[in-house]
Structure 1
Amino acid sequence: MTVPTENGTMYATVSWNAPNATDNSNNVTLTFNEEHTYRNSGLFPIGLIPLSYTAKDASGNRASCTFTVSVIDTENPVITGCPPSMTVPTEDGTMYATVSWNAPNATDNSNNVTLTFNEEHTYRNSGLFPIGLIPLSYTAKDASGNRASCTFTVSVIDTENPVITGCPPSMTVPTETGTMYATVSWNAPNATDNSNNVTLTFNEEHTYRNSGLFPIGLIPLSYTAKDASGNRASCTFTVSVIDTENPVITGCPPSMTVPTENGTMYATVSWNAPNATDNSNNVTLTFNEEHTYRNSGLFPIGLIPLSYTAKDASGNRASCTFTVSVIESCSDPCINGGTCEEGTCTCLEGFAGTACEEKSKLLF
């Protein structure tokens, strides 16, 4: 017969119906010829136990009957105190954590059990564990092959931010002559991380490159270092492209002398306005007169200084100056080559009068 152990024990209580013995002499003794001191019924340990009955008569004749009791252990071991799953940060500057735990205990009804640390890799308690989720287990096994397992995990997390060294300094760069750009370059920084797995990204707001063309203005730029665990570090700097180039004014009006209109003390004056250009393509040309004169407009007798000013968005300036001299005209036109100066004709020799007539004609 095959009999399982009783729960929590290493024995089985076994009993059977004893056999009968007969003999022609009617004088026979039946003996339970066990190898040990087992009884019917009694406690039998785990294992295969051969048993027998022997019948013997008074003449010494014998007969035997043999059978076996196989006590089997079907009860699994029990593991207590299984380590809890744990999350452990890496040690500063390393990609490892030193991890340890209290080992569990294993018991079995057979009192013969082996507890094995059944790790997937060659980790130890205590030992160095790399970044990541590591499944671990203990297995208890008894002599009958019954097993019990206890599983837990060690999660080593990286909470350490990368380090960026050599961040570019903020810089101020003038535009190249005749353009609204500057070619800018710099030495890229370095990124390190305890995990030895870090990506450095040029995290510009726009699509600028190193090196590349940068327009006039203040441009914020950055580098970002990110490791596999999502830890980040940033490095920020600015490129300030400044315009130091003055605008250019072409076609500045020439200074001019204009007589007053007949019977007035003014002259109507006009001119062709100049043009202003600038490397920035953003320039304002202003008629910067000292008074409220206009082109065209009425100008009084006198010397009037005028100017145009070109100004770009960066405050760079260029000026163009000229004068309008309004002189009083003569009441009668000066003829015969005479010139009008301050309202009076200046006549050539042989001519006189308010209009420089011939002197011979004036006598008659």
Structure 2
Amino acid sequence: MITCPTNVTSNNYVGFTSGIIQVRTDHEANVATVTWDPPIVTENVSRFNVTSSPYKSGDEIPISTIHVITFTATESSGDTDTCNFVISVIDIEDPICTIEPPSYMGSVEMGQQNSTINYIITVRDNVQVSSIKTDCSFIDIGNSGQEYIVDRAIEEIDSTGTFPIGETMVLFSVVDNASPNGNEGTCSFGVTISG
């Protein structure tokens, strides 16, 4: 008879709910490293072989709602016994955005009320960034207006903005593709335009 391990560990342990062990992804990765003690086999035979499938202790397990880890003990006679446990790897890591330059000071040309500046937004995530957006109406993110669809793990986005005289703080929100709800991060930069 085989008994599944009860000591399943990860540096990213989240909890145990409805028979499912939940762990979050490793930092800046789309997998979680999970370890467990060997299963306990109690048989009246001296020789048996134990395998685990599809993962073994110490493996990097990808994001998924459910991974069923099955242990099989096989006696030398060919008799087998199995047990299993369930792991869910979730992404709760917020995406990151940065802006170059982080702030801008400039002035308008003679007779003008606005100044156009160029900047680069870098977005990244351990899995995949879905989109970045702002409520600032005079921002153009990657020639797409106020919202830009990313759909990759990292991207540098050339952007522009036409700013009025005065101080403006622009806030961006970036969302990843985590399920069921995307994780959200923010970044901002300040612009000062003198007349």
- Do these two structures clear the TM 0.5 threshold for a shared fold by scoring above it? yes
Instruction: For residues 191-234 of structure 1, give each alpha carbon's deviation from its aligned partner in whole angstroms, at most 9, with x where no partner exists.
Output: 333x2523561424335224243344543212334433444432
Structure 2 residue aligned with 1:105: 40
Structure 1 residue aligned with 2:82: 149
- The partner residue of 2:68 within 135, 149, 161 is 135
- Give the 5 Å matches for 1:146-185: 148-180=81-113, 182-185=114-117
SS at match of 1:201: strand
Kindly state the Cα deviation for residue 171 of structure 1 after the two structures are TM-superposed: 2.8
C-alpha contact (below 8 Å) 1:82/1:151 kept by paired residues: no
What stretches of structure 1 move > 6 A for 4+ residues in a row?
142-146
- The partner residue of 1:198 within 123, 129, 145 is 129
Higher Cα radius of gyration: 1
SS at match of 1:97: strand
> In 2 relative to 1, CA 142–79 (structure 1 residues): closer, same or farther, beyond 3 Å?
same
SS at match of 1:86: strand
Structure 1 residue aligned with 2:172: 223
Kindly state the Cα deviation for residue 104 of structure 1 after the two structures are TM-superposed: 1.9
Kindly state the Cα deviation for residue 144 of structure 1 after the two structures are TM-superposed: 8.8
> In 2 relative to 1, CA 115–153 (structure 1 residues): closer, same or farther, beyond 3 Å?
farther
Q: Partners in 1 of 2:117 and 2:51 — Cα distance?
A: 57
Aligned residue type for 2:191: V
C-alpha contact (below 8 Å) 2:117/2:162 kept by paired residues: no
Structure 1 residue aligned with 2:151: none
Q: Partners in 1 of 2:165 and 2:28 — Cα distance?
A: 42
- Give the 5 Å matches for 1:52-63: none
Q: Percent identity?
A: 27
C-alpha contact (below 8 Å) 2:4/2:84 kept by paired residues: no
- Give the 5 Å matches for 1:15-54: none
Instruction: Name the stretch that deviates more: 144-153 or 91-100.
Output: 144-153
Q: Partners in 1 of 2:33 and 2:21 — Cα distance?
A: 12
Aligned residue type for 2:163: F
Aligned residues: 161
C-alpha contact (below 8 Å) 2:127/2:177 kept by paired residues: no
- Give the 5 Å matches for 1:205-354: 205-206=136-137, 208-209=139-140, 210-229=159-178, 230-242=182-194, 244=195
C-alpha contact (below 8 Å) 1:82/1:150 kept by paired residues: no
Higher strand content, 1 or 2: 2
> In 2 relative to 1, CA 101–169 (structure 1 residues): closer, same or farther, beyond 3 Å?
closer
Root mean square deviation of aligned Cα: 3.7
Q: Where does the alignment leave 5 or more consecutive residues of structure 1 unmatched?
A: 1-77, 245-364
Aligned residue type for 1:189: I
More RCO (CA 8 Å, sep 6+): 2
